Structure 1
Amino acid sequence: MYSVLAFLFGSSSLLYAQNETGTGFPYFVDFTKGSQPKEAYKPVVPGAVNNATFTKDGLKLTDAIKSSFGAILLSDQIFKNDEGIKFEFEYVSYNGTKFDGSRGDGFSIFLIDGDIPKEQLNIGANGAGLGYSYNAATNKKYTTEGLRGAFLGIGFDEFGNFKKQFYQSEENRNGISNYPKIEYNSHITLRGKRDTQYRGYPVLYTVSTTASKNSSNRVASLDVNTGKFKYEKNDTFDSFSVDIDGSKIPLNEEDPNYRKAFVTLEPSQLGGYNITVKVKAGNTLHTVIENYYYPIQLTYEDNSVKPSVFRKLDTSPPKKLRIGFAGSTGAATNIHLLKNLGVSKAYAAEATDDLYTTCKNKSITTTPLDNDIAYSILPYGKAAVIDGEVVKGNEYIDYKSFRFLTKEGESIPNNPNYTYTSEEGTWAYNINTGELKFTPVSNFEGIAYLRYDIKGGGRDGNEVPFNQEDYRSFPALIQVQVINDKTCSKSFIISNQNVTSKIIK
């Protein structure tokens, strides 16, 4: 996947904007210009200050001070929600102070109805609400409406309160009332759709990332038929902390404090979505939530009222979506910093960064598409994604869809020979084999950079819809290190799916 000069918080200002089809896909923004992107909106926070700031390091939602809150909505970037969505982003929650044994509070990324008029957009409750859910406090001083148009909130919940039921004068919302203390902190939690101002937003699924793999309480999931929670075991991933115990931003994935999240909503043939959440901690990719089924209707227990009431909730997805972020601190604190947000269709092609090494004055022929994938539908060529069996693999890439991009991510028009000459050397791409040859200029030593993107559609490029522009991949980065060394007699490759390359310039 896309990375910026191969390390977490680099200096690229790439904005991979909406394509000509008007679906909003693919989209990328790195949040490192130090200024607010034109499509972003900084909402007013009732009773608080919106501390979100755009820095050279990324979008900083909170400082490591008590009761800090920040939120950003990508109000002018609307995504057509017809065949699912996936997004990825890098984050670091760091330099915090503990309260009751944990830092916090955490941050959320959420999907909201894209048809909500911009002037009606708001932000949900701060603190444990993480800007998504409501606070129906009996003390009206603290009452806050939930996020309007809310469809799905994903909480990266360091302290653990995003999933919690509250019933007290200053905090009141539905949730889980009796989660065991030992598994309480460091959760990733899904909350569902809005019903009214102070109703809905039910907890769907929550998992402790630090609990033992043998714990029978690592997961609580909503039984969408009964409205009750089921406590479950999940031994499919190793433990890691949502936040980090450190005061510095990690440089690359070799640092165990590196964090990157991947979220996919794939359409289900039953209606609704299958949700998968993965987190890369250091150089290990953890599948934290796998294919959780989010139906088009569910039952939940509203325990924000006494006695509690079981309610039906229409959770059918909106036709259009927006994305937003929010972060909170309380007595426990953290700096919450995000960058490199990429958004695409659920079945867009996926291009992966590659690192090669060659000798000075020696050409190298590479195959960068070997670890890339595209999607297809069985039977081959079936037009509707949700009606067929979706498969993925390298064989579904259209070699002819390869595009040269500058290292800043801008498109370079291809000539008939698919060649591009930079100051470091000449790149020549073979549309029949997918091979890419790099010839360095005479006596060049250092790192040559090139970005590219691809589409699916099969080798002939004819399969609809994967041959369309809104199924194009995010940019991937190719780096060729040209060295003058006695050990460089043979070229080699370091390349991994979803792993940031290791050269730092």
Structure 2
Amino acid sequence: MKFQHYCSKFIIPVCASLAFISASAQFTITNPLTTKDFTGIKIGDNASLTAATGADPNGAGWLRLTEAKANQKGYMYVLQGFPTTLGVIADFEYKDWRNVADSYNGADGFCVYLFDASVSDANFKLGGYGGSLGYATYSNPAGTTGLSGGYLGIGLDAYGNYANNGENRHGSAPAGMLTSGMLPNAFVLRGPTSSTYTSSNIYLTSAALGDRTGTVNDIRTRNEIDYNTVTATRPADNIFYRRVQVMITKPGTDYVVTVKWRKENQSDFTQVFTYTLSSAVYPIPANLKLGFSASTGGGFNFQEIRNIILTTPGNLRVDSRSDSYFTCNENSRPVTFKVEVSNDTNAALNSINFNGKILDQNNNLVDFSKFKITGVSYNSSFTNSNLQSSNFTSNEINGVVGLNAKSSGIITVTGQYYKKGIGTNHSFKMVSNISSGQITDTDLTNNTASTVVEVRKCSVISNPMMPSYSK
């Protein structure tokens, strides 16, 4: 299923002023990167929005960091900085695939990085590409420093160089982890950029993924970081799906970096690694920004990102997506929403209030002649639920769910859009709200999620080269 998360630009809900954000350290920043809208982001080198280039329909696009071509590089970062007082969760989805065979089994990989928000756009500079993935130091040209103001660079390395000390990268994974000096199909964490070149972006830790038997090329052929079957079109989510969460918390005097991910047909995240950063050695900037960079060499992939969420950890939060970014006005058809409720606290909560509504563009409840909720289900992560599952009298759901500490659950809401119900060039949305009286929720900016589905005219048009949904 394709889970889409919609908004046209970066949004900081609830916190209406920068003064409030600074005082409370509460924030939620989201962007699906699925449209033509460049608001709030800086894109450079070979990176592009596929909805803007026409590679994908508007509303169904991706941030494409590289094409599946040799010797490419691309980057993007979010212009809005965010406070680090309460920690941070960075959440995103990605695809890493190719439509042309190469002899390297895909390369190189990409990096998600956090850097000091005080670095101006004019002074922003990437680290080396190649195996340094746009973050770390590099040897060509000689003395290439790491990312300006870089704090952490988490490499998702398909080919395997980011974890070694080649090309003037500093520090390396333990020899026992490397295969022929490489660590392909791995998450690799490198540290801050330093004014001292020889200690910049030091190797900190890594996690090798999947089956590690055989040669380094055998490892590269396995579907972990990237998808290794040549395909004419982007692999569907039930074939290859990756969602990553990077969390920074401060449970004591030091910072803890936790990386998790979720693969196709999984409803729960799997922890990749946890690493403790000394606050004395690696003090965190007061504000950070988030970015991505990617590179290719002789091997290559389309390296694509979407559905960025930045928010604070340690509270209740909700996220909502749909399997459809639009529906057709000429046909009645089912629409599915996936609402993920997360309990990031240290306490089990058995009374999380949930409310979900299907609203029109004017925020009015949609009546049954236009759209009707037909079913509600939830996965086994919930410890209890009294949500109505059938015989709905309106397009509104109310109830209570329970979650263990540090866990998430997915509520699936199915419905039926009726032919010509909403009207062409209109939309409807599911708005979900959560709360609980069992805790003091210190960040309410992430307690509401909204997912929009557009209604379009989809009749076949005269030019057979144009997609039918574009009329």
**So what's the TM-score if we normalise by structure 1?**
0.64
Q: 1:146 deviation in Å? A: 1.0
Is 1:180 matched up with 2:156? Answer: no
Residue 42 of structure 2 corresponds to which residue in structure 1?
41
Is 1:280 matched up with 2:263? Answer: yes
Q: Which runs of 5+ in 2 are unaligned?
A: 52-60, 217-221, 324-336, 373-392, 402-410, 454-471
Is 1:372 matched up with 2:341? Answer: yes
- In 2, Cα distance between equivalents of 1:42 and 1:436: 34
Q: 1:95 deviation in Å? A: 1.0
Q: Deviation digits for residues 41-61 of structure 1, max 9, x if unmatched?
A: 235xxxxxx111111231111
Residue 271 of structure 1 corresponds to which residue in structure 2?
254
Residue 68 of structure 1 corresponds to which residue in structure 2?
72
- 2:31–2:307 CA contact under 8 A, matched in 1: yes
Q: Deviation digits for residues 446-477 of structure 1, max 9, x if unmatched?
A: 9x974223243426xxx5344x4324254468
User: Pairwise mapping of residues 77-476 of structure 1 onto structure 2 (< 5 A)?
Assistant: 77-95=80-98, 101-135=104-138, 137=139, 141-166=141-166, 171-176=167-172, 178=175, 179-181=178-180, 184-196=183-195, 198=197, 199-212=199-212, 240-245=223-228, 246-250=230-234, 252-255=236-239, 257-283=240-266, 287-297=270-280, 314-347=281-314, 348-351=316-319, 372-376=341-345, 390-393=346-349, 395=351, 397-399=352-354, 402=355, 404=357, 406=359, 412=363, 419-421=365-367, 423-425=370-372, 427-429=394-396, 450-458=429-437, 463-466=439-442, 468-475=443-450
Q: 1:322 deviation in Å? A: 0.4
Structure 1 residues 353 and 330, CA gap change in structure 2 (3 angstroms): closer
Is 1:15 matched up with 2:9? Answer: yes
Q: 1:185 deviation in Å? A: 1.4
- 2:5–2:321 CA contact under 8 A, matched in 1: no
Partner secondary structure for residue 305 of structure 2 = strand
Partner secondary structure for residue 128 of structure 1 = helix
- In 2, Cα distance between equivalents of 1:114 and 1:281: 34
Residue 384 of structure 1 corresponds to which residue in structure 2?
none
Q: Which runs of 5+ in 1 are unaligned?
A: 1-5, 44-49, 218-238, 298-313, 356-366, 377-389, 414-418, 479-505
Structure 1 residues 196 and 464, CA gap change in structure 2 (3 angstroms): same
The letter for the 2-side match of 1:280 is: K
- 1:113–1:318 CA contact under 8 A, matched in 2: yes
Structure 1 residues 174 and 465, CA gap change in structure 2 (3 angstroms): same
- In 2, Cα distance between equivalents of 1:445 and 1:334: 41
Q: 1:393 deviation in Å? A: 3.6
- In 1, Cα distance between equivalents of 2:235 and 2:104: 27
- 2:11–2:30 CA contact under 8 A, matched in 1: yes
- 2:313–2:344 CA contact under 8 A, matched in 1: no
Q: 1:283 deviation in Å? A: 3.8
The letter for the 2-side match of 1:187 is: A
- Provide the aligned C-alpha RMSD in A: 4.1
Structure 1 residues 430 and 247, CA gap change in structure 2 (3 angstroms): closer
- In 1, Cα distance between equivalents of 2:269 and 2:444: 30
The letter for the 1-side match of 2:93 is: E
Partner secondary structure for residue 469 of structure 1 = coil
Structure 1 residues 149 and 16, CA gap change in structure 2 (3 angstroms): closer
- In 1, Cα distance between equivalents of 2:66 and 2:287: 29
- 2:245–2:260 CA contact under 8 A, matched in 1: yes
Structure 1 residues 65 and 455, CA gap change in structure 2 (3 angstroms): same
Partner secondary structure for residue 122 of structure 2 = helix
The letter for the 2-side match of 1:271 is: D
Structure 1 residues 424 and 393, CA gap change in structure 2 (3 angstroms): same
Structure 1 residues 182 and 151, CA gap change in structure 2 (3 angstroms): closer
- 2:353–2:400 CA contact under 8 A, matched in 1: no
Partner secondary structure for residue 42 of structure 2 = coil
The letter for the 2-side match of 1:39 is: G
Q: Percent identity?
A: 18
Q: 1:34 deviation in Å? A: 3.0
- In 2, Cα distance between equivalents of 1:125 and 1:98: 26
